[in-house]
Amino acid sequence: MVKHVSYNLNILANMIDDGYTVSIHCHQQVKGGTCGHHARLDLEALAKRFGRDFVLLHHTIVPYLRCSKCGAKGGGVRGPISIQMHIPSPTR
């Protein structure tokens, strides 16, 4: 009998172990347009702060984020900060 093992990609440990990266993007309206700043989240630092079993979803992390360029806070679902997960490149 084959035992089914559940896998949740949104768990920090799985993201780190499988080589994923997560970027944040600021869409805050500023004088002259949109801030547009983006940065990569430090998943290891997040794991130290929240634990490796933390489920990284938009609504669980965005309230803790602040743009280092314009100072916008993450806010709610339609706030100025968005997150994007990037698929790792194959390693051969």
Is the pLDDT assigned to residue 12 strictly greater than 80? yes
Q: Residues near 35 by Cβ (< 8 Å), separated by ≥ 6?
A: 26, 27, 28, 29, 67, 69, 70, 72, 80
- At 16-44, the pLDDT tens digits run 998 888 888 888 888 888 888 888 899 99
Q: What is this structure's pTM?
A: 0.75
Owner of token pair 């916008």: 72
In a domain, 23, yes or no: yes
Residue 6 within any structural domain of the chain = no
Q: Is 11 exposed, middle or buried (0-12, 13-18, 19+ CB in 10 A)?
A: middle
Question: Domain range for residue 38?
Answer: 12-86
* pLDDT, tens digit, 9 for 90 and up, residues 41-85: 999 999 999 999 999 988 888 888 888 998 888 765 566 777 666
How many domains does one find in the chain?
1
> Which DSSP state fits 66?
B
Token pair for 89 = 């490149």
| Max Cα–Cα distance, the chain, nearest Å | 62
